[in-house]
Structure 1
Amino acid sequence: MRLAPTRKNIRFYQRRMRQARMVARALQSKHHPVLAHIIPMRRCNLSCAYCNEYDKVSAPVSTQEMLRRIDLLARLGTQIITISGGEPLLHPDLDEILRAIRSHDIIATIITNGYLLTPERIERLNKAGLEHLQISIDNVNPDDVSKKSLKVLDKKLEWLKEHGDFDININSVLGGGIAHPEDALTITRRALDLGFETTVGVIHDHGGQLQPLRGEERRVYDQILSERRPGLFAFAYDNLFHKNLTMGQPNEWQCGAGSRYLYICEDGLVHYCSQQRGYPAIPLEKYTVEDIDREYSTKKPCAPFCTVSCVHRVAMLDMIRNDPRDSLFRLFPPLTPGGPPSYPPIVRALSSIFLPEPNGKPPGLARRLTTGMAMRAFGLKRTDKSPLRDNL
């Protein structure tokens, strides 16, 4: 007997379709932000020693002002809005802010330390339309560097497993003074046991710059990669960015901060990212498509050793957009030297639908019909160029 789909399953597939449309639209046009981080609350209930993104005194941004900023981001065509801080769960009207994001059909996510989560609070996040939540856990037991520990948060994780209707990612960290690097492996294993997505990050300095991994940290990182089951995007990110960062090597890439990625501080100014506040520092209401297009190709001197993964991940979409075949080969390299690229099935399928033939041969009727149906499903419009490119 076929069981009726659950609310959680229905929302899971709805999220995947919205995410697919987001990726397809990001690949078709470069003239809008893919992701914006917006800060409703600089204050935090913790004081992690390595963090420079909080204070203990700031009042929350007014709800009316937050709704106005969300409207402005929607007009710019923003596809994902992440609420972070400080600690966003301290904002008294976070649910209303999330509902406002979803009212524009924008993907709504939050980054939280998790301390304030309860079953009732998680249910409210469900009702508000939250689609993704990330918690970064720094150690197994709290210490002088960080209180974001598995010991304190494990019950919160169990509540998320039981009650959450949204995607959940647990991020473990290495480097930057973390006393017990082996804790990152314990945290990853616990997150996998609960069925959550997992990532591992390299802690940056106060300029967002690289602090390379050493001996035991490197061994733990390699063990995590061998055990975890990364999502498609995380797997590609590991291949393109993270492996170099863990070895202290620079990455060659074009940073899209200020264009495809925006960071809006509590004062309503647009910055490159949380680690480069002050550039360009333009009020959101004055930010235009011309600013987006200018910053798309502006060289950022901090880029080679940057560890801000959100900006990296957005840039991956533009790499595919600008040079799809070469970028996909770099993101999913051959398993053996000289072998074929290791494309996952979904990448192979989308490549066969959207990418032009490598020999320049015009697609046949069946291919054109399949591409047309796929574009309609993703809400895209044809242009006179490849479906992955827009009219520049």
Structure 2
Amino acid sequence: MITTLYKLKNGIRAFRRWMIPAVNAKLHPKEFRPVLSYLFTEWKCNIDCHYCFQFDNKQNGMTLETAKKSIDWLKSKGCRVLALMGGEVLLRPGFILDVINYGVKQGFFVYLPTNGYLLTKDFIDKAGRAGVAAINLAVDCVTLKPGLPKALMSIEKQFRYLVKKQEEYGYVLFFNINITSKNLKDVKMLTEIARANGIGTDYHVNEPPQTDQPHYQHNREEALYIKEEQFEEFDELMDWLIDKNKQGYPMVNHPYHFEHMKKFVRGEYEPWKCVAGKNGCFIKMDGSLSPCFGLQSSDMDWGKIGNSNFDQEKLDEIKKECNKHCLSTCFYTSGKYYGSFPDMYRWIMKHTKLGRNI
């Protein structure tokens, strides 16, 4: 009975926080109507993934005042899904709990990403009671590998407690997996572990940065991109994920995203519908805006909270180039599932597949 209610509540929440804003966005196609927006609260991180270009331990984080103003502005634009982002957001647990509390009170589906190392039972309980809607647990491998510190066995106690409490507190839980040259076999194992525990999965293919990142600490050769001699193994993994997707495994990704990844790792460009700057945006620590995660370090002026400047013609031109180097799971998925009402329905139903099998 508890599991049935959990699945039902997930579906209702997804309908209210995802589908209604998405429908409103379709009814106002010329307006900036974000369905999902990222709040980048922290550059700093407690671990060092060799593929990551988005952490810098010399920078301070977002203030609570900026976070609240951002949430208020997003609410005025019709947005109801708030994804926190870092760095590692749990470096300031008190701050992030304040943001979760405020976001939930303003009617948002608040999504919390973490590598899990800093999770405690006390924090999980407080975030759960506050009403956090989703917890994205970033894991790339089962056991530690060189350059890949996000190993499930390193955070097993935290993982077990998250699974134990998901139905009590009502949040959805999923693995966020970055596919690199060193974890192709682990991806399958993590997928099956997720399935066995009634949680979802979210896959990314390792990508180069869109802009120069002078704070990156490693040689580009260490960035763990898929190598030519791995293409066949990579294709087999993509086919396996497509098959599991069709079997009903709860995955964020649209099935064609995996097909597209095969071409992407080979450097073959295929245009895709990116809705960054239209149905989603990225709020930087000072309250200035970017269409997406990848362009946050560019020198282009996209406005700030309260005064966005997302020129769609300009964005369309930029995307012709940046899409060659990016396959964003967030905006690829958004482009696929916001395309039609049947697709929106499929997205909502994904939320009802989470939790234990009845």
Interval containing the TM-score (normalised by the shorter chain): 0.7 to 0.9
Query: What is the Cα deviation at residue 204 of structure 1?
Result: 0.7
Cα–Cα, structure 1 residues 274 and 127, in superposed 2: closer, same or farther, change >3 Å?
same
Q: Cα deviation per residue 1:73-118 (whole Å; 9 max; x = unaligned)?
A: 2222223210010111222321221122223322211221111222
SS at match of 1:262: strand
8 A Cα contact 1:37 1:81, kept in partner: yes
From 180, 193, 197, the equivalent of 1:194 is 197
Q: TM-score, normalised by structure 1?
A: 0.72
CA distance in 1, matches of 2:347, 2:154: 39
Query: What is the Cα deviation at residue 296 of structure 1?
Result: 6.3
**Cross-structure match for 1:216:** 233
Q: TM-score, normalised by structure 2?
A: 0.78
Cα–Cα, structure 1 residues 174 and 13, in superposed 2: closer, same or farther, change >3 Å?
closer
8 A Cα contact 1:259 1:296, kept in partner: no
8 A Cα contact 2:302 2:310, kept in partner: no
* Superposition pairs of residues 282-361 of structure 1, within 5 angstroms: 282-285=302-305, 287-288=307-308, 291=310, 297-300=316-319, 301-317=321-337, 319-320=339-340
The alignment status of 1:15 with 2:13, answered yes or no, reads yes
Cα–Cα, structure 1 residues 232 and 22, in superposed 2: closer, same or farther, change >3 Å?
farther
SS at match of 2:26: helix
**Cross-structure match for 1:63:** 64
Query: What is the Cα deviation at residue 182 of structure 1?
Result: 0.7
CA distance in 2, matches of 1:180, 1:227: 18
The alignment status of 1:262 with 2:281, answered yes or no, reads yes
**Cross-structure match for 1:253:** 272
* Superposition pairs of residues 67-106 of structure 1, within 5 angstroms: 67-91=68-92, 92-106=94-108
8 A Cα contact 2:121 2:161, kept in partner: yes
What is the aligned-residue identity percentage? 20
SS at match of 2:124: helix
CA distance in 1, matches of 2:45, 2:120: 18
Moved more, 39-48 or 58-67: 58-67
Q: Cα deviation per residue 1:163-191 (whole Å; 9 max; x = unaligned)?
A: 1221112122323xx42421111111111
8 A Cα contact 1:249 1:305, kept in partner: no
* Superposition pairs of residues 167-182 of structure 1, within 5 angstroms: 167-175=172-180, 178-182=181-185
What one-letter code is carried by the residue in structure 1 that aligns with 2:98?
E
What one-letter code is carried by the residue in structure 2 that aligns with 1:216?
E
8 A Cα contact 2:288 2:302, kept in partner: yes
The alignment status of 1:41 with 2:58, answered yes or no, reads no
CA distance in 1, matches of 2:243, 2:102: 40
8 A Cα contact 2:139 2:177, kept in partner: yes
Cα-Cα RMSD: 3.3
**Cross-structure match for 2:352:** none
Cα–Cα, structure 1 residues 68 and 190, in superposed 2: closer, same or farther, change >3 Å?
same
Moved more, 148-157 or 21-30: 21-30
Q: Which has the larger Rg?
A: 1
> Which ranges in structure 2 are unaligned for 5 or more consecutive residues?
212-224, 350-358
**Cross-structure match for 2:221:** none
8 A Cα contact 2:55 2:86, kept in partner: yes
Q: Which runs of 4+ in 1 moved over 6 A?
A: 4-7, 343-347
Greater RCO between the two (CA within 8 Å, min separation 6)? Answer: 2
